[in-house]
Structure 1
Amino acid sequence: MRSAVVTERGDRIRWVELAGEEPARVYVHGLGATSPAYFAQAASHPLLAGRRSLLVDLLGFGISDRPTDFGYTLEAHADALAAALGAAGVFGTELVAHSMGGSIAVVLASRHPHLVSRLVLVDANLDPIRPAPGGAGSSGIAAYSEADFLAGGWEEVRDAAGPHWWATMRLAGLEALHRSATHLTRGTVPTMRELLLDLKIPRTHLVPESDGVPRGAAELAGAGVVLVPIPDCGHNIMLDNPDGFARAVAAAPTED
């Protein structure tokens, strides 16, 4: 386990690092997750092993610190992650990022372009989401006020999430979970989709084949984003179809 201070108050992001060749490959988890649990199998897959790999937990999640005075906007997450990568000596990395982590990765690549040479998004959130009470995901969490979530709403989210997701979600700070979900539903200005379209690096977006053609697919393809439908999986592509995931990441373009 490695760590780096990423805020003026001394809060640390932590990651599990696997030794290997440069350039590094950095894995970033989604909401309520942790990268070692979600990406260990992928990082050690024969098609992906041998590269220096950082399985990073975002601030507020997993083994990283959980400050209660951090904003947890997508921009703040991106800047904190950028600080951790800089401290680790990681520049021009291949960033593999799932769900909310994909949103943060897009913001990171836009704000800190020297850090990212290739972007592989894994069923990432590209657009704002309408809060919807009753769900375990970002839309359900964001439907609570922060006060109501901290006062007991998190228990309803726990029950909706189920034991598998809650196993990693319970590691998150409650403020981190609520604020991250709320800011994910609000998105960024310009939107994550618009930022992605404007990036000048190789970009690949892995999506579940069963979901059909993604929204804005033609526009993404026209901007050079390679869309790769992965069979036999749901939202957690790397867990549901590890071989298909590894093949797609290994085959992702290295030149735009």
Structure 2
Amino acid sequence: MKHVEVGPDGARMGYVELQGDGPALVYLHGLGSCSVAYFARPATEPGVAGRHVLMLDLLGFGLSDRPASFGYTVTDHADAVARALDALGVTGADVVAHSMGGGIGVALADRRPDLVGRLVLVEPSLHPTPRPIPESFTEQEYVRTGFAVRLDDAGPQWAATMRLADPLAMHRSELGLGASMPVLDDVLLDLPMPRAVIEGGLSGWLADDPRLRAAGIPVHVVPGTGHVMMLDDPAGFARALVAALATAA
């Protein structure tokens, strides 16, 4: 694990780097996750192995710092990722972004298109959705007791990485996916770089999306998997990623 300073207050973003060829393949994880746990296994699969890889942990998650002065909104996260990539000298990256990370990836591509050569979204969060657990707690209450409620609701697989998250970061990040989240659907459609989408076959809410079809954004399905298809079927996810990067070329 390496770290790069992205602020505020000297906060550092943790990342794992794998040396390899081609433009950097940058992974952005979802809410309550961390990149290595979700993406390390697919990164060893044929077609993906051998790439230059950066698996970033968003501020407040995984092995990154947890600055209390950070806002943790989608755009806040996107700007922190941009600072990390700037510090690492990365431009024109292939960005692979899951769930909340998908919204962050769209915001990053919109605000800093020089950093994103191709964008692959994995069941992305693109518009506000109800967030009943964090919305029922004040920030202080969530830190004291609400985070434990959230962990219990998450189930054992998701909770395994959510335990690494800072409760304050969880509360602010999840509220940032609620009513205050910017609507990014049209932003995605208007981005200038090649884009593709991956979804689990058990999800089934993107493959027939008429707006994605009209925009020429292909959707690749990992059969028999759900929202965390990179854990359900790492090899299948890697195959879909290779195909998505090819169709987004």
TM range (shorter): over 0.9
Distance 1:32 1:143 in 2: 18
The 3-state SS of whatever aligns with 1:210 is coil
Which residue is 2:174 aligned to? Answer: 181
The 3-state SS of whatever aligns with 1:31 is coil
| Residue of structure 2 aligned with 1:170, choices 163, 167, 184 | 163
Which residue is 2:100 aligned to? Answer: 100
- Is the counterpart of residue 227 in structure 1 residue 219 in structure 2? yes
Which residue is 1:129 aligned to? Answer: 129
Distance 1:216 1:6 in 2: 38
| Residue of structure 1 aligned with 2:196, choices 196, 201, 204 | 204
Question: Between Structure 1 and Structure 2, how many residues are aligned?
Answer: 248
Question: After alignment, is 19-28 or 213-222 more displaced?
Answer: 213-222
- Is the counterpart of residue 214 in structure 1 residue 209 in structure 2? no
TM-score, normalised via structure 2 length: 0.94
Equivalent residue runs for 1:1-256 within 5 Å: 1-132=1-132, 140-186=133-179, 188-189=181-182, 191-214=183-206, 217-252=209-244, 253=246, 255=248
Structure 1 contact 197–223 (Cα < 8 Å) conserved? yes
Distance 2:205 2:65 in 1: 38
Task: Let me know the Cα RMSD of the aligned residues.
Answer: 1.6
Distance 1:73 1:216, change over 3 A: farther
Deviation at 1:216, TM superposition (A): 7.6
Distance 1:32 1:151, change over 3 A: same
Structure 1 contact 31–101 (Cα < 8 Å) conserved? yes
Structure 2 contact 196–247 (Cα < 8 Å) conserved? no
Distance 2:185 2:214 in 1: 13
Distance 1:60 1:213, change over 3 A: closer
Distance 1:215 1:73, change over 3 A: farther
Deviation string for 1:223-252 (max 9, x for gaps)? Answer: 121112221101101111212211111112
TM-score, normalised via structure 1 length: 0.92
Q: Which runs of 5+ in 1 are unaligned?
A: 133-139
Distance 1:121 1:50 in 2: 21
Q: Which runs of 5+ in 2 are unaligned?
A: none
